[in-house]
Amino acid sequence: MDKYEITRIYSEKVEVVVDLIAQEVPLSIRVNDDELVTLLASPDHCIELAVGLLYSSGFISSFSDIEEIDVDKQGTIVSICLKNRQLRKDVEYRALLTSGCGRGTLFLQAGEISRRSKIKSEIVLHRNRIFELMVDFQSRSTGYKQTGGIHSAALASSSGIHCVYEDIGRHNAIDKILGYVVMHEIDVQDKFILTSGRISSEIVLKLNRTDLGLIVSRSAPTNQAINYARGTGISLIGFVRGRRMNVYYLNEQVCQIL
Amino acid sequence: MDKYEITRIYSEKVEVVVDLIAQEVPLSIRVNDDELVTLLASPDHCIELAVGLLYSSGFISSFSDIEEIDVDKQGTIVSICLKNRQLRKDVEYRALLTSGCGRGTLFLQAGEISRRSKIKSEIVLHRNRIFELMVDFQSRSTGYKQTGGIHSAALASSSGIHCVYEDIGRHNAIDKILGYVVMHEIDVQDKFILTSGRISSEIVLKLNRTDLGLIVSRSAPTNQAINYARGTGISLIGFVRGRRMNVYYLNEQVCQIL
């Protein structure tokens, strides 16, 4: 957070106050000495973000695909050296370039949207547990509470929240979670994602490369996100507010809401 | 809006309801027969979006720079033919490719951030008028009210709101406004932008190519947005909620809040 002196204007008074503002940095991700993409992101946990982006984009399938990670002193360039020096040929390079900003689906036709592998999730959740977890999640989203300008995402199971990451970009917050999962080889069979952000198609496509089979958001999805959820078998819950939520798609073979 | 049958779960009951969902389409913008960029966007007003993006990115300086605009039947490809068949050389091509998703500032160093031309704004606004306009703006944001998943932006002056555009992308909503301004040759001297979305650096940089000198948001800015506002002289107000707002930067030579 940065501190800025700002003027707060009310109908009846004006005061100069110090306000906490979310930081934004350009983060360049280099793979095998080539710049792959530059994102605007929050300055923390840039390694998780870079690893998660490579994972959710299909460049790596596990942390062991990475030989070396370096971050420059300013924390704005993450250089990753892959063991396989050739980028995987089955990945659409252009698709990645548009990742992290709600684009990239152009490179997949509707007919191609199908689950890349069998979903390994076995999630059994009581509805009230989801409401409780969302309250806990919001209470842990400290960056949002301080600045009002940050998205958050969490890895959770019915037993509780495992980690929370925040970022000015809603895609980035999800990628940080995925980076954490890959780096720590987390078993995600009973786990799912909580997020503050809206669910666009690309968020669903990111999860389609993982073993995560459920995403729960405080916000709304787009129509394409619902279509892709149905096509890939990823369960999609949104608009969790108070004691209410919308189930946009539930894959009952892997996810049960009691 | 699309209609979807969804399951709404409460603590004590479950109901199947029909919900309105924001539509998302891939929109390709082609310039002089080359694809420039593909965005995920709402399907309406794609011409305003394309023209606004070209303008805010510096490819055109007025509507007369455009010879022809075609939209395909599906409304997902906008082809624009410029009178000058060469893209302007002083525009960083790569910067545009990252536009619309909160990126692109990498191509401008902090030292380069300065006003491109003298701000022509002459805005005099009573604080209570801003509060009123924001209420009016929200009441006109019908897509958000219906789906909860859409951003909106408006062109306004002290006399009222001139137009409102909505989009699933906060950058796109701003570009639609700018497209409207360019296409209708609107005199913006007394006008400014209202937006629902967060203000990242790129939003400020978009306005820096226009004669608009004030942006007012319901949401928070990032630190770089404030830095760029101060560097370019664009006044920046955020967090307008009820009878309160935060003035992050005010260029008193062109904008007065009474």
Of A97, A131, A223, the CB nearest to B21: A223
Is B154 strand, coil or helix? strand
Strands (E), chain A: 2-10, 14-21, 25-31, 34-41, 66-71, 77-82, 123-125, 151-157, 160-167, 191-195, 214-217, 235-241, 244-249, 255-257
Q: How far is B128 from chain A (nearest CA, A)?
A: 6
CB contact under 8 A, A246 and B200: no
Residue B95 has pLDDT above 60, yes or no: no
Query: What percent of chain B stands above pLDDT 90?
Result: 71
What distances in angstroms separate CA A11 from CA A7, A148, B157, B217, B242, one per listed residue?
13, 22, 19, 17, 10
Q: Which chain B residues are closer than 8 Å to A9 by Cβ?
A: 127, 244-247, 257
Q: Which site among B9, B15, B35 would you substitute to test the A interface, given the most A Cβ atoms closer than 10 Å to its Cβ? A: B9
What is the C-alpha separation between A134 and A144, in angstroms, rounded?
14
Task: Kindly identify which residue of chain B lies nearest to residue A144, measuring between CA atoms.
Answer: B220
Out of B46, B81, B101, B163, the active site residue is B101
The CA distance from B258 to B248, in Å, is 16
Task: Note whether B106 contacts A28, CB cutoff 8 Å.
Answer: yes
pTM: 0.89
Residues of chain A with Cβ-Cβ distance to B25 below 8 Å are: 224
Active-site option among A81, A101, A163, A255: A101
**Both structure tokens of A128:** 């009230």
- CA dihedral for A223, A227, A232, A238, sign (positive or negative): positive
Best mutation site among A166, A206, A223 for testing chain B: the one with the most B CBs within 10 Å? Answer: A223
Asked if B106 and A11 come within 8 Å (Cβ–Cβ), the reply is no
**pLDDT value for A179:** 97
pLDDT value at residue A148? 86
Q: Is pLDDT of B94 > 80?
A: no
Cβ separation B131–A201 shorter than 8 A: no
Once rounded to an integer, what is the mean pLDDT over residues A39-60? 92
Instruction: Name the residue with higher pLDDT: B217 or B1.
Output: B217
pLDDT value at residue A57: 83
Measured distance CA(B158)–CA(A138) in Å, rounded? 37
- Subunit contact B11:A127, Cβ cutoff 8 A: yes
Please say if the pLDDT value at position A249 is more than 90: yes
Give me the pLDDT at residue B113, please.
61
**According to the model, what pLDDT value does residue B219 have?**
94
Chain A: residue nearest B27 by CA? A106
Instruction: Tell me if residue B81 is catalytic.
Output: no
Angstrom distance (rounded) from CA B195 to CA B203: 10
Q: What is the pLDDT of residues A200-244, one digit of tens each?
A: 998 998 898 888 999 999 999 999 999 999 999 999 999 999 999
Count other Cβ atoms within 10 Å, centred on residue B120.
14
Q: Which residue has the higher pLDDT, A56 or A9?
A: A9
Averaged over B34-59, what is the pLDDT? 90
Q: Please state the rounded mean pLDDT for residues A187-198.
A: 95
pLDDT band at A149 (very low <50, low <70, confident <90, very high): confident
- Looking at residues B5-31, what average pLDDT do you find? 94
- Report the gap between the CA of B163 and the closest CA in chain A (Å): 24
> Letter for the amino acid at A37?
V
Q: Give the containing element (helix H, strand E) for A181.
A: helix A170-183
Which of A4, A6, A11 is the best substitution to test chain B (most B C-beta atoms within 10 A)? A6
Chain B's closest residue to A199, CA to CA, is B149
pLDDT of residue A34: 84
Interchain proximity A9–B245, CB inside 8 Å: yes
Of B22, B105, B222, the CB nearest to A21: B222
- Quote the distance between the C-alpha of residue A31 and its chain's center: 20
Contact A202 B40 (CB under 8 A): yes
User: Would residue A220 be called left, alpha or beta, if left means φ above 0 and alpha means ψ between -120 and 50 degrees?
Assistant: beta
Lowest mean pLDDT among A48-57, A116-125, B187-196, B214-223: A116-125
Task: Provide the pLDDT for residue A115.
Answer: 66
pLDDT tens string A65-112: 999 999 999 889 999 999 987 665 444 444 433 433 433 333 344 445
Amino acid at the residue B157 = S
Mean of all residue pLDDT scores within chain A: 87
DSSP type of residue A116: S
Mean predicted lDDT score pLDDT of chain B: 87
Poorest-confidence range of A98-102, B3-7, B242-246? Answer: A98-102
Nearest to B98 by CA among B158, B171, B33: B171
Distance from C-alpha of B256 to C-alpha of B81, rounded to nearest angstrom: 40
Contact (CB<8Å) A103/B128? no
Contact B113, B228 (CB under 8 A): yes
Model confidence at B180: pLDDT above 50: yes
Q: Write the residue in B168, B223, B247 that is nearest to A200 by C-beta.
A: B168
- pLDDT reported for residue A109: 40
Q: What residue in B sits closest to A128 (Cα-Cα)?
A: B11
- A62-71: which pairs have CB atoms within 8 A and are 24 or more residues apart? A62/A182, A62/A185, A63/A182, A63/A183, A63/A185, A71/A46, A71/A47
- Kindly tell me if the per-residue pLDDT of A199 is higher than 70: yes
Q: Cβ(A147)–Cβ(A196) under 8 Å?
A: no
- DSSP alpha helix (H) spans, chain B: 46-56, 93-97, 127-140, 142-147, 170-183, 201-207, 223-232
First to last CA, chain A: 40
- Is it the case that residue B48 has pLDDT exceeding 70? yes
Residue B84 has pLDDT above 90, yes or no: no
- CA A103, A106, A108: angle at the middle one, nearest 5? 115
Q: Which of B103, B126, B252 to mutate to test the interface with A (most CBs of A within 10 A)?
A: B103
Residue in chain A nearest B109 by alpha carbon: A26
Question: How many Cβ pairs within 8 Å bridge chains A and B?
Answer: 160
% pLDDT > 90, chain A = 71
- Cβ neighbours of residue A156 closer than 8 Å, sequence gap 6 or more: A133, A137, A162, A191, A192, A193, A194, A216
